[in-house]
Amino acid sequence: MQVVVSLFVIFLIKIRNATRGLERLNVSFTRNPECKLFSSIARYETAIFLQALLFIPLFLLSLITQAQSRYEKDFDEFRFYINDNYAYFKQQNIDWDKVKSIYRPKINNVANDRDFIRSLENVLHEFHNGHVSLNTNLQDSNRLIPSGQDMYVEYIDGNYIVTDLRKGFGPERCGIKIGMRVHHFNGKPVADQIQQFLPKFTTVHSPRMLQCALDMLFAGTHDVKRKITTIENKKTRDFFWTNSIRNPTGHCSTAECCNSDTAYIKINNSLGRNELIAQFDQALDSLIGTKNLVLDLTETPGGGTDSGCRRPKSASRSRPRDCITKTARTGKTSSQKSLQKTQPKHFKSETGSAG
């Protein structure tokens, strides 16, 4: 701002000098139009006036530069950072230049932090990738996926079908069943609502884009209680549940003996918590007499840190022949043997199998 004021003062001084000079020249030429001295002065003052005119575009350019809002600057930093660090533009066929051309002009109208955060959230929809997120959110922001999901809905043969439920969480507890056909979400058709989450850089949306949009929609927002309306035999039924996405047990892990030879440990979405390390060691100590270990990672959609994952991984590596890791999406063990325990298909660990 100080630069703008300084340039503006210089501009006014030049204009004032040029104007006064021309006023003197007018009087001088009236008295003696053929005087060489006055002719030299005329050239000098004219030069000053031309400088002032040339100064105008520079001044206007400085105004434009200085007038750029902090949101515009932050947005530019945001897009430069993604441009330099995101690794999957080609694999996902993301037209990043098109994305920038869509959203950059809209930042000019952003006037507060709330609008700016929402603008960045909209940009991230273009990646159709739950692993890309901000470190902040609004009260009405969508939950992150997959950690914020508690049900999985797929588009099958023209219908939106519940294909998986997160065990012990809201949708399952309120009575929703796998195989139900969803008619409305929060009182509105599903197809109309997923449009807000679909990428804008293309009009041809892949199955992966559509599924990500569905995941975002059914994860819901932090502030609105969700309502699912199902339809069966032309009859509709409404289901409500609270928005809390919490570990039903409250423990980082649970352990039990399936039989005299086999132990079972389940990680309860806590790979990012340091408390898991001590609890996991305790569980191992209590099951030390068993020959086989089943390590269940089906309830770890939030992923975790290196320190949180290291202990379960080391346990599986120390018992390579008798440690079986349940994978979330396929429902099979790492050795391709089916497990008898019920498990979800889709709520997969972001860190992958520990085996």
Residues 162, 39: Cα–Cα separation, whole Å: 90
Amino acid 294: pLDDT: 87
Q: Which residue has the higher pLDDT, 112 or 273?
A: 112
Q: Which residue has the higher pLDDT, 331 or 66?
A: 66
For residues 82-99, average pLDDT = 94
Inter-CA distances, 166 with 21, 173, 252, 326, 339, Å = 83, 10, 17, 15, 18
Phi-psi region of 259 (alpha: psi -120 to 50; beta: other; left: phi over 0): beta
- CB neighbour class for 194 (10 Å; exposed up to 12, middle 13-18, buried from 19): buried
Q: Which residue has the higher pLDDT, 76 or 241?
A: 76
- Reported as a single tens digit per residue, the pLDDT across 152-162 is 999 999 999 99
For residues 233-246, average pLDDT = 81
Q: Do residues 251 and 265 touch, judged by C-beta distance below 8 A?
A: no
Helix (H) or strand (E) holding 307: helix 306-318
**Residue 74 token pair:** 């932050």
Q: What is the mean pLDDT of the chain?
A: 76
Q: Which residues contact 213 (CB under 8 A, 6 or more apart)?
A: 125, 128, 194, 195, 197, 198, 205
- Reported as a single tens digit per residue, the pLDDT across 165-209 is 988 889 999 999 999 999 999 999 999 999 999 999 999 999 999
Among 178, 182, 155, CA closest to 166: 178
Quickly list DSSP for 137-201.
Answer: --TTPBPPTTTT-SEEEEEETTEEEEEEE-TTSHHHHTT--TTPEEEEETTEEHHHHGGGGS-SS
Amino acid 56: pLDDT: 62
pLDDT at 104 over 90: yes
* Percent of the chain with pLDDT strictly greater than 90: 41
For residues 74-78, average pLDDT = 95
- Give the pLDDT band (50/70/90) at residue 275: confident
Residues 300, 245: Cα–Cα separation, whole Å: 13
Among 350, 281, 287, CA closest to 322: 287
Total Cβ atoms within 10 A of residue 147: 18
User: Tokens 């430069």 map to which residue?
Assistant: 80
Best-predicted range by mean pLDDT among 37-51, 66-80, 220-234, 285-299? Answer: 220-234
Amino acid 33: pLDDT: 52
Quickly list DSSP for 98-116.
Answer: HHHHHHTGGGGG--SHHHH
pLDDT at 101 over 70: yes
Best-predicted range by mean pLDDT among 23-27, 63-67, 84-88? Answer: 84-88
Q: How many helices and strands in the chain, by DSSP H and E?
A: 10, 10
Amino acid 327: pLDDT: 45
pLDDT at 79 over 60: yes
User: Tokens 């549940």 map to which residue?
Assistant: 241
Among 145, 242, 142, CA closest to 196: 142
Amino acid 153: pLDDT: 97
For residues 78-82, average pLDDT = 95
The three-class DSSP label of residue 58 is helix
